[in-house]
Amino acid sequence: MRTRIVGHCIGGIAAIGIAASIVYGCASAPAENDVSERAEAMMKSSFKAHGQATLARLDQDETQRVCSEYAGRALPPAVAERIEKANLETIRYPADGNLVGDWKSGEKIAQSGQGFQYSDDPKKAAGANCYACHQLSPKELSYGTIGPSLYRFGKTRGYTDETRRYAWQKIYNAEAFAACSNMPRFGYHHILTEQQIRDVVALLVDPASPVNQ
């Protein structure tokens, strides 16, 4: 069974949203704010700082706050558009314009679940844990299905600058394309370094990568 990185798909923030959505279902409209505050207070009191896993993981930015507010409900199109636009504006690109690295390093990053758990070494680079949610290489028999299959990502979309740019953007901040996505915002939250994002992009778009065989 693959381990998840704390702060990736499921963490303190998501837990607050889940708890709030549960109590929302039983609360009357006038009491929603009070219920939400009590749910958040309950979650904060049950989390303890442990090494690099600090209580800061419970602090929500505006995107997370809105997504928690709509947890369990359909996201209005106007709200989704606002979230995607705001997150698209956060995407940053390498100064040298190079978006593609080494797919072999990208495969190691995709396999790794290292990072941000209190027991992990903070001096070591985090992994992306991509296989927890996606199919990539056909040689990997164990993979998640929360996200779509990425097998033949580049081969299907074409080995173009547009495909490479889209892959970079999606990895950097998935909220720019799917509001309230379960996918981590690897660049925005500094989970992966610039070079690591390059390498994962290469895994997706390099014709020699096992993803495209």
Residues 135 and 150 sit within 8 Å (Cβ to Cβ): yes
Q: How far apart are CA 98 and CA 95, in angstroms?
A: 8
Q: Where in the chain is the domain with CATH 1.10.760.10?
A: 103-212
Which secondary structure element, helix H or strand E, spans residue 65, and what is its range?
helix 62-69
Given 3.40.50.620, 1.10.540.10, 1.10.760.10, 3.30.70.141, which CATH number is that of 103-212? 1.10.760.10
CA 175, 177, 181: angle at the middle one, nearest 5? 45
pLDDT digit string (tens) for the chain, length 213 residues: 444 443 444 344 344 343 444 333 433 444 566 777 887 788 778 888 888 888 888 889 999 999 999 999 999 999 999 999 999 999 999 999 999 999 999 999 999 999 998 899 999 999 999 999 999 999 998 999 999 999 999 999 999 999 999 999 999 999 999 999 999 999 999 999 999 999 999 999 999 999 999
Quickly count helices (H) and strands (E) in the chain: 8, 0
* Closest by Cα among 129, 126, 128, 124 to 115: 126
pTM, to two decimals: 0.81
